[in-house]
């Protein structure tokens, strides 16, 4: 097989909002454990397997600070262990029933394998696994801003603080400084590239239309050295498209249809217009054949795209395909199988694969681009996070951030003693922590998409209330009450212990 010109980069973006101790079902920790069991466990198992074979530069993996915190959190680790054990028990009970025997045995095998994997590799969290993959050169990890805010709508000081704290959190967990980030929702506003450069970010992801559809090379943004890599929609949509993506094939396991007796998924997609009760039973052999066919199709798609783009621009081109990690396993049951086979098949077909960091260092960068306002949401603009449907949340976010910044500024100024080192103040830390949790981009997304909108509004208002409550105590000089409230709210979530309000930029030093 002849070598295909250019380079292919696969990027996976892993994110869930902070769910620990905020409900269980239908939205809450169950969401975390389902994604963990179906996606994070098998995807990292695939990467460990390929790393053991000495394969390097396989893909770029984004893990947001808020998800990384949950995958390392003792409460979540214990909850996940229980969840896997419960899955195994449910499968065992199903296998004891004649009409569910085949389904039960299949699920019991999956649950037992997942439980063994978790007990062997995950009991100290995800960070040791990710550090091993980094050290082996298997992956590049992308970090991101703390608590996943939609950055274009965030006060510049809070934006700079969130990014700096997110990068520090990643370095603490993974023992390495991430060169790139996955900006939450791929949200961008002109000027943010200066903030990225000041924070040491070398590259970030945008959606294809942000680069006017020309994603054949990374592009430096205006006069900065920061590179924006664009998602190639022609290749990415081959996998995940509402109308024609691979997961919709008739042979794959249906995500939406449950067997009500067992709570397990027993059906295959069968057809787009086939009702749940009428769907055919899942057949792993049919699914495996579909995986092989879709792997071959994807490899052919990438080869043709690299060839055509290289010819068009007159030099070796870059193709970047990017997806949510949760697609692989959670939404698309066979996704991890497909992923492993694709990562083997692409090099065998003469396609050079690598990470975004590889692509930047190897010169897959074109002329500067005047990047405009954008996201990877509906319309590729900001409507999901700034539209009329979430106008109240936009106002809430502005008020909460302003309250937190004003209160912390006054508290720090009052406590300042000339010539002495500023001491850490846990109350200030918690004010900023709660404000960042309140402005998570997930809440507006869930409201705009009418996906557990009530839960999303409740979460935004809960953290806004915590911010206001602590701020009121500080402003009224009730020191003991402020400390008690801050400690209580901190204990309720127990995340981002490294956040330090002393690192909040001054008014005159924040980068736009």
Per-residue pLDDT tens listing for the chain (512 residues): 579 999 999 999 999 999 999 999 889 999 999 999 999 999 999 999 999 999 999 999 999 999 999 999 999 999 999 999 999 999 999 999 999 999 999 999 999 999 999 999 999 999 999 999 999 999 999 999 999 999 999 999 999 999 999 999 999 999 999 999 999 999 999 999 999 999 999 999 999 999 998 999 999 999 999 999 999 999 999 999 878 899 999 999 999 999 988 999 999 999 989 999 999 999 999 999 999 999 999 999 999 999 999 999 999 999 999 999 999 999 999 999 999 999 999 999 999 999 999 999 999 999 999 999 999 999 999 999 999 999 999 999 999 999 999 999 999 999 999 999 999 999 999 999 999 999 999 999 999 999 999 999 999 999 999 999 999 999 999 999 999 999 999 999 999 999 999 999 998 655 55
423 located within any domain:
yes
Question: What is the gyration radius of the CA atoms in the chain, in angstroms?
Answer: 23
For residue 21, how far is the Cα from the chain centroid?
A: 20
Task: Looking at the structure, tell me whether residues 131 and 195 fall in a common domain.
Answer: yes
Could you give the residue numbers annotated as active site?
A: 185, 324
Report how far residue 258's alpha carbon sits from residue 345's, in angstroms, rounded to the nearest whole number: 33
Task: Looking at the structure, tell me whether residues 122 and 200 fall in a common domain.
Answer: yes
Residue span of the structural domain in which 185 resides? 7-143+178-231+315-371
Q: Which helix (H) or strand (E) element contains residue 221?
A: strand 218-221
Helical spans, DSSP H, in 118-189:
127-135, 156-174
What is the model's pTM?
Answer: 0.96
Report how far residue 288's alpha carbon sits from residue 299's, in angstroms, rounded to the nearest whole number: 17
CATH of the domain at 354: 3.20.110.10
Among 323, 340, 371, where does a domain finish?
371
Nearest 5°: phi and psi at 320? Answer: -120, 120
349 located within any domain:
yes
28 located within any domain:
yes
CATH of the domain at 387: 1.20.1430.10
Say if CB 127 and CB 68 are below 8 A apart. yes
Residue-wise DSSP of 102-126: HHHHHHHHHHHHHHHHIIIIITT-S
Task: Looking at the structure, tell me whether residues 448 and 365 fall in a common domain.
Answer: no
For residue 293, how far is the Cα from the chain centroid?
A: 28
Say if CB 460 and CB 503 are below 8 A apart. no
Helical spans, DSSP H, in 175-273:
192-199, 233-239
Say if CB 332 and CB 246 are below 8 A apart. yes
Contacts of 465 (CB under 8 A, 6+ apart): none
Nearest to 77 by CA among 27, 41, 113: 41
């Amino acid at each position: 097989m002849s070598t295909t010109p250019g380079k292919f980069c696969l990027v996976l973006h892993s994110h869930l909002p902070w769910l620990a101790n905020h409900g269980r079902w239908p939205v809450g920790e169950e969401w975390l454990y389902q994604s963990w069991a179906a996606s994070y466990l098998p995807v990292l198992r695939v990467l460990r397997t390929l790393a053991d074979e000495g394969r390097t530069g396989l893909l770029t993996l984004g893990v947001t600070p808020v998800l990384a915190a949950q995958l390392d959190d003792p409460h979540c680790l214990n909850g996940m262990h229980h969840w896997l054990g419960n899955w195994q028990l449910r499968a065992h009970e199903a296998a004891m029933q004649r009409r569910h025997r085949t389904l039960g045995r299949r699920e019991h095998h999956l649950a037992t394998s997942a439980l063994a994997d978790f007990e062997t590799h995950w009991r100290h969290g995800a960070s040791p696994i990710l550090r091993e993959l980094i050290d082996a050169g298997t992956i590049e990890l992308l970090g991101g801003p703390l608590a996943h805010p939609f950055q274009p709508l965030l006060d510049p000081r809070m934006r700079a603080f969130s990014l700096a704290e997110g990068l520090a959190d990643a370095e603490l967990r993974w023992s390495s400084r991430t060169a790139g980030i996955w900006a939450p929702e791929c949200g961008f506003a002109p000027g943010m590239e200066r903030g990225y450069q000041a924070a040491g970010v070398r590259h970030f992801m945008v959606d294809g239309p942000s680069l006017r559809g020309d994603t054949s090379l990374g592009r430096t943004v205006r006069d900065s050295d920061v590179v924006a890599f664009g998602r190639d929609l022609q290749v990415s949509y081959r996998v995940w498209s509402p109308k024609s993506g691979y997961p919709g094939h008739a042979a794959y396991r249906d995500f939406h249809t449950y067997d009500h007796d067992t709570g397990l998924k027993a059906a295959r997609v069968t057809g787009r217009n086939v009702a749940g009760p009428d769907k055919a039973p899942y057949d792993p052999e049919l699914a495996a054949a579909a995986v092989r066919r879709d792997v071959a199709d994807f490899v052919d798609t990438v080869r043709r795209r690299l060839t055509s783009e290289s010819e068009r621009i007159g030099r070796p081109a870059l193709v970047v395909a990017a997806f949510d990690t949760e697609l692989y396993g959670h939404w698309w049951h066979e996704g991890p199988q497909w992923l492993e086979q694709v990562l083997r098949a692409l090099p065998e077909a003469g396609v050079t694969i690598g990470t975004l960091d590889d692509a930047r260092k190897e010169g897959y960068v074109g002329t500067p681009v005047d990047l405009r306002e954008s996201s990877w949401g509906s319309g590729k603009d900001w409507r999901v996070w700034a539209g009329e449907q979430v106008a109240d949340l936009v106002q809430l976010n502005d008020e909460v951030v302003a309250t937190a910044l004003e209160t912390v500024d006054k508290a720090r100024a009052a406590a300042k003693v000339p010539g002495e080192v500023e001491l850490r103040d846990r109350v200030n830390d918690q004010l900023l922590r709660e404000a960042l949790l309140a402005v998570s981009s997930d809440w507006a997304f869930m409201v705009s998409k009418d996906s557990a909108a009530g839960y999303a509004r409740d979460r935004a208002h809960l953290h806004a209330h915590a911010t206001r409550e602590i701020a009121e105590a500080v402003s009224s000089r009730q020191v003991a009450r402020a400390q008690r409230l801050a400690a209580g709210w901190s204990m309720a979530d127990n995340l981002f212990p490294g956040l330090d309000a002393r690192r909040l930029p001054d008014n005159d030093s924040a980068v736009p």
